[in-house]
Amino acid sequence: MPQFDMILVDPEQAKGVEVEDHTAGTPLREGGGDETYRCGSCKTKLLVNVAHHDAHGAVIKCGKCGKINTEPHHH
Ligand SMILES: [Zn+2]
Protein backbone atom coordinates (compact mmCIF):
# COMPACT_ATOMS: atom_id res chain seq x y z
CA MET A 1 0.00 0.00 0.00
CA PRO A 2 2.21 2.87 -1.19
CA GLN A 3 2.05 6.24 0.49
CA PHE A 4 3.33 9.45 -1.04
CA ASP A 5 3.96 12.96 0.17
CA MET A 6 2.60 15.47 -2.30
CA ILE A 7 4.64 18.36 -3.71
CA LEU A 8 3.91 21.84 -2.39
CA VAL A 9 3.17 24.50 -4.96
CA ASP A 10 3.29 28.24 -4.66
CA PRO A 11 -0.14 29.93 -4.78
CA GLU A 12 1.28 31.98 -7.68
CA GLN A 13 1.96 28.78 -9.61
CA ALA A 14 -1.55 27.52 -8.93
CA LYS A 15 -3.15 30.51 -10.61
CA GLY A 16 -5.38 29.47 -13.46
CA VAL A 17 -5.36 25.87 -12.24
CA GLU A 18 -8.41 24.22 -10.76
CA VAL A 19 -7.66 23.73 -7.06
CA GLU A 20 -9.75 21.29 -5.06
CA ASP A 21 -10.50 22.13 -1.45
CA HIS A 22 -9.78 19.47 1.11
CA THR A 23 -11.64 19.64 4.43
CA ALA A 24 -9.63 18.84 7.54
CA GLY A 25 -10.63 15.54 9.08
CA THR A 26 -11.91 13.89 5.90
CA PRO A 27 -9.94 12.73 2.87
CA LEU A 28 -10.87 14.58 -0.29
CA ARG A 29 -11.29 11.21 -2.00
CA GLU A 30 -11.16 7.71 -0.63
CA GLY A 31 -11.29 4.29 -2.19
CA GLY A 32 -10.82 2.74 -5.58
CA GLY A 33 -7.15 1.85 -5.33
CA ASP A 34 -4.21 1.40 -2.99
CA GLU A 35 -2.31 4.70 -3.07
CA THR A 36 -2.41 7.21 -0.23
CA TYR A 37 -1.29 10.82 -0.68
CA ARG A 38 -0.36 13.13 2.17
CA CYS A 39 0.04 16.89 2.40
CA GLY A 40 3.67 17.76 1.71
CA SER A 41 3.67 20.16 4.62
CA CYS A 42 1.63 18.77 7.52
CA LYS A 43 1.28 15.11 6.44
CA THR A 44 -2.51 15.14 6.56
CA LYS A 45 -3.91 12.40 4.36
CA LEU A 46 -5.58 14.11 1.42
CA LEU A 47 -6.30 11.10 -0.81
CA VAL A 48 -6.70 7.68 0.79
CA ASN A 49 -6.56 4.35 -1.04
CA VAL A 50 -7.20 5.91 -4.41
CA ALA A 51 -6.18 4.68 -7.83
CA HIS A 52 -3.22 6.42 -9.41
CA HIS A 53 -5.39 8.02 -12.08
CA ASP A 54 -7.48 9.66 -9.35
CA ALA A 55 -4.41 11.49 -8.09
CA HIS A 56 -2.91 12.24 -11.47
CA GLY A 57 -2.85 15.97 -12.05
CA ALA A 58 -4.69 16.70 -8.80
CA VAL A 59 -4.10 20.09 -7.19
CA ILE A 60 -5.40 20.14 -3.64
CA LYS A 61 -5.51 22.82 -1.00
CA CYS A 62 -4.94 21.23 2.38
CA GLY A 63 -7.79 21.97 4.80
CA LYS A 64 -5.46 21.81 7.75
CA CYS A 65 -2.46 23.97 6.85
CA GLY A 66 -3.80 25.73 3.75
CA LYS A 67 -0.85 24.75 1.55
CA ILE A 68 -1.45 23.83 -2.07
CA ASN A 69 -0.31 20.36 -3.05
CA THR A 70 0.11 18.60 -6.34
CA GLU A 71 0.72 15.02 -7.26
CA PRO A 72 4.30 13.76 -7.12
CA HIS A 73 5.10 12.05 -10.39
CA HIS A 74 6.23 8.54 -9.72
CA HIS A 75 5.36 6.46 -12.75
ZN1 LIG B 1 -1.35 20.37 5.14
**pTM exceeding 0.85:** yes
CA–centroid distance, 40 to ligand 1, in Å, is 7
CA of residue 75 to ligand 1 center, whole Å: 24
> Rounded to whole angstroms, how far apart are CA atoms 10 and 7?
10
User: 17-41 pLDDT, tens per residue?
Assistant: 999 999 999 999 999 999 999 999 9
- Tell which residue, 48, 36, 30, has the closest CA to residue 72: 36
Q: How far apart are CA 47 and CA 30, in angstroms?
A: 6
Name the residue ranges covered by the structural domains of the chain: 3-70
Q: Is the pLDDT of residue 75 over 60?
A: no
How does DSSP assign 28-52, residue by residue? Answer: SEE-SSSEEEE-TTT--EEEEEE-H
